[in-house]
């Protein structure tokens, strides 16, 4: 069973002429591997999963698994607000050879706590993959309480972690304090990776590491090693970049930053569009002296 620790990058999905850009995608994967990340999430929110078809998701997972060839774990974003669809997609991801599945809380239909439990149990029961829950109330309009997440973890031994993006440190602390031995908390907000690790979290699934995998990786691993002096110094350095990544909806800014670095075109799937001229100017300013080291 995969142990979710350290820095996992929620990688962007590059497009060219409206289609998947395989060449750039593989180059981005190489950059992550060379930087020493602990894993990569393919088809998460940062990967514009909401506007990629199931066939495209399977293609991206297959490319990633084949290209990484076991050197870096691949977690597939397979969640939706339709339990049956999530089960089908998780099974397809498993057949591609990924090492885990990231499953978001059902959005829009806002299930009850009992519905959340039933949703995750049905998906976990349908696969042998380790499953990571993804609690992100800002996108789903539903918060999974600490009690619900812990109940799911107790009921489903292959639900191995939660990506917690509620920004509620009290709730996160409760989960960490009461988690079963097979279950861990992973930060879902880059800026909160350090405090969540200090509480006992085990890592982060991050946006910033698309272009700062070395710097942010040093922060994460310093914190995990208890070297909080180093982690705090790096945190101070990265604060402007955390802010920049969310001036507009993710992945608008991070894709534009990647384009500034010559790593990826700033091409999006509607309804996402390129950042405004004002945002572009802000991003250009903040990136003018950036070095990932």
Beta bridge partners of 53: none
Question: Could you give phi then psi for residue 226, rounded to 5 degrees?
Answer: 85, 10
Please give the full DSSP string across 133-149, using - where no structure is assigned: EEE-HHHHS-PPPHHHH
Q: Which of 57, 92, 163, 202 is catalytic?
A: 163
Beta bridge partners of 187: 164, 204
Beta bridge partners of 103: 133
Contact 227, 244 (CB under 8 A): no
Catalytic residue at 163?
Answer: yes
Q: Which of 134, 211, 242, 268 is catalytic?
A: 134
Instruction: Please give the radius of gyration of the chain, using alpha carbons only, rounded to the nearest integer.
Output: 18
CA dist., res. 33 & res. 29, Å (int): 6
Contact 68, 33 (CB under 8 A): yes
Which contiguous run of DSSP H or E holds residue 73? none
**Of 253, 249, 250, 279, residue with least CA distance to 264:** 253
Here the tokens at position 158 are 């292959």
CA dist., res. 132 & res. 142, Å (int): 17
217: Cβ contacts below 8 Å, ≥ 6 apart: 6, 7, 35, 36, 37, 209
Question: Which residues are the active-site residues?
Answer: 134, 163
């Amino acid at each position: 069973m995969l142990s979710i620790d350290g820095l996992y990058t929620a990688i962007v999905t590059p497009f060219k002429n409206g289609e998947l850009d395989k060449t750039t995608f593989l180059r981005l994967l190489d950059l992550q591997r060379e930087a020493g990340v602990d894993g990569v999430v393919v088809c998460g929110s940062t990967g514009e999963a909401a506007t990629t078809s199931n066939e495209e998701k399977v293609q991206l997972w297959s490319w990633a698994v084949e290209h990484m060839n076991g050197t870096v774990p691949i977690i597939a974003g397979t969640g939706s607000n339709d339990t049956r669809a999530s089960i089908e997609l998780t099974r397809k991801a498993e057949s591609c050879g990924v090492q885990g599945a990231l499953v978001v809380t059902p959005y829009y239909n806002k299930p009850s706590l009992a519905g959340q439990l039933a949703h995750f149990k049905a998906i976990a029961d349908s696969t042998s993959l380790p499953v990571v829950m993804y609690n992100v109330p800002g996108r789903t309009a539903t918060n999974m309480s600490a009690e619900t997440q812990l109940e799911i973890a107790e009921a489903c031994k292959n639900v191995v972690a939660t990506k917690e993006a509620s920004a509620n440190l009290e709730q996160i602390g409760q989960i960490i304090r009461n988690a079963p031995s097979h279950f861990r908390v992973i930060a879902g907000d880059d800026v909160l990776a350090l405090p969540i690790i200090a509480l006992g979290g085990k890592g982060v699934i991050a946006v910033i590491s698309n272009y700062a995998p070395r710097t942010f990786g040093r922060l994460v691993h310093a914190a995990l090693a208890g070297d909080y002096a180093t982690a705090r110094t790096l945190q101070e350095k990265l604060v402007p970049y955390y802010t920049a990544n969310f001036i507009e909806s993710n992945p608008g800014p991070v894709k534009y930053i990647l384009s500034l670095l010559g790593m990826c075109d700033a091409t999006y799937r509607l309804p996402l569009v390129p950042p405004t001229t004002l945002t572009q100017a802000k991003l250009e300013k903040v990136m003018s002296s950036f070095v990932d080291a």
